[in-house]
Amino acid sequence: MSGDITKGIKAGSSAAPTFVAIFIGVGIAAGVAGVPALAAVYSTLAVFAAPAQFAMFDVAVQEGVLLQVVSVAVLVNLRFFVMSLTLTNFFPHVPRSRLVFWAQFVSASSYLLTFFESRRQSSVDLFDFFRGVVIMTFLAALVGTVVGISIGAGLPALFAFGATLFLPIYFSLLLLGETKGRFELLAVLIGLLLTPPLELLLPGWGLFIAAIGAGAVIAVVER
Amino acid sequence: MTNLEWLLATTGAAAGTYVLRAAPFLWAPLRRAGQRYVRFLTYVSFAIAAGIVSKALTLDAGRLALGPEIYIKLIGLAVALGCYRWLRNIPLALFAGAGCAVAAKWLAGL
């Protein structure tokens, strides 16, 4: 295993507790929605996007039809398009045959951790780093789903609370170290301030809309 | 939904999601667009990271959660940021922050 994959695994291990906690939630939600255990594990393997999985289970509980379940999941996952678009800049020489497989594992964490690593201008192979993050976070997601299905709602609340804090704290630390210049700071402030109200107005879309809006406004101002 | 319907629904959702994830890597015009709008995408990335933080602090299951728990989360965040400034060690800062928040929640009996 290359050293850069190991670096990615180390970076991913900081996000792993949050992944376990979130996917425990997926496992519990699947049980509540009456989703068969194997189908819940399959959803993590195949979709690997907790918000979309929650949305799918929610539509199913409301007796939505198959097409509704698929549509809501795909719409909730639109953000992956922007994330992959950004990642294309970091993997310019990686053969498409390899990207065909690894594209499946683009998530907010694998994308953002690779993005922040790219800014350090180190000699790290970013594709290997990305794969390391994926290995760690994907395993954490699978473990979380299986644990969630097994224990149901019996997880101690204090444990769940602590685990969910790892990802926001980790991203705060990265932002503290990596934000440079007034335009990047402005993007951070817009993201911080606009995401919660927009999420309340348009659940599942607020984060995406605030980020696209921030990028568009600052790109225009910068010109 | 029956098992077969779940299989079809998940496969459909996975296929649609995969197209969104893979298209920019596999379709040259999209790759070029990624290169062209790199500054825009950089700002979007910062805003997404910041949005994940504020969402986790202020919302709980899609609802505004501004009760005492937000102060506990802020304490955890402040401890982590302080620890990182002092020690420059991310894992240590992470565990210090999350640990403090859990301890504060336990002490407050929440």
Cα separation, A1 vs A128, whole angstroms: 9
Indicate whether A67 belongs to any domain: yes
Residue A163 has pLDDT above 80, yes or no: no
Indicate whether A180 belongs to any domain: no
DSSP type of residue A104: G
Would residue B63 be called left, alpha or beta, if left means φ above 0 and alpha means ψ between -120 and 50 degrees? beta
**Residue A1's pLDDT is what?**
65
**Residue A204's pLDDT is what?**
74
**Residue A133's pLDDT is what?**
96
Q: How large a percentage of chain B has pLDDT more than 90?
A: 43
Cross-chain residue pair A196–B59, CB shorter than 8 Å: yes
Tell me the pLDDT tens digit for each residue of B38-92.
Answer: 889 889 889 988 998 998 899 887 788 878 889 999 999 999 999 988 988 777 8
What is the number of domains present in chain A? Answer: 1
* Residue A78, domain extent: 3-164
Residue A188 has pLDDT above 70, yes or no: yes
Average pLDDT over residues B31-37: 85
Indicate whether A28 belongs to any domain: yes
Tell me the pLDDT tens digit for each residue of A58-91.
Answer: 777 666 677 877 887 887 788 889 889 999 999 9
Cross-chain residue pair B77–A80, CB shorter than 8 Å: no
Q: What is the mean pLDDT of chain B?
A: 88
Q: What are the φ/ψ torsions at residue A34 (nearest 5 degrees)?
A: 75, 25
Angle at A89 between CA A87 and CA A92, to 5 degrees: 110
Indicate whether A212 belongs to any domain: no
Provide the whole-model pTM.
0.80
Average pLDDT over residues A2-18: 90
- First-to-last alpha carbon distance for chain B, in angstroms, is 37
**Residue A64's pLDDT is what?**
63
Residue A153 has pLDDT above 70, yes or no: no
Indicate whether A31 belongs to any domain: yes
- CA B13 to chain A, closest CA, distance in angstroms equals 5
More confident residue, A134 or A92: A134
Residues of A in contact with B48 (CB under 8 A): 79, 108, 112, 191, 207-208, 211
Contact A164, B55 (CB under 8 A): no
More confident residue, A164 or A172: A172
Q: What is the mean pLDDT of chain A?
A: 88
Contact A165, B79 (CB under 8 A): no
Indicate whether A221 belongs to any domain: no
Look up residue B108 and give its two tokens: 């407050």
Chain B interface includes A172 (CB < 8 A): yes
Average pLDDT over residues A90-104: 92
**Residue A110's pLDDT is what?**
94
Contact A151, B7 (CB under 8 A): no
CA–CA distance from A153 to each of A31, A142, A160 (Å)?
Answer: 9, 17, 11
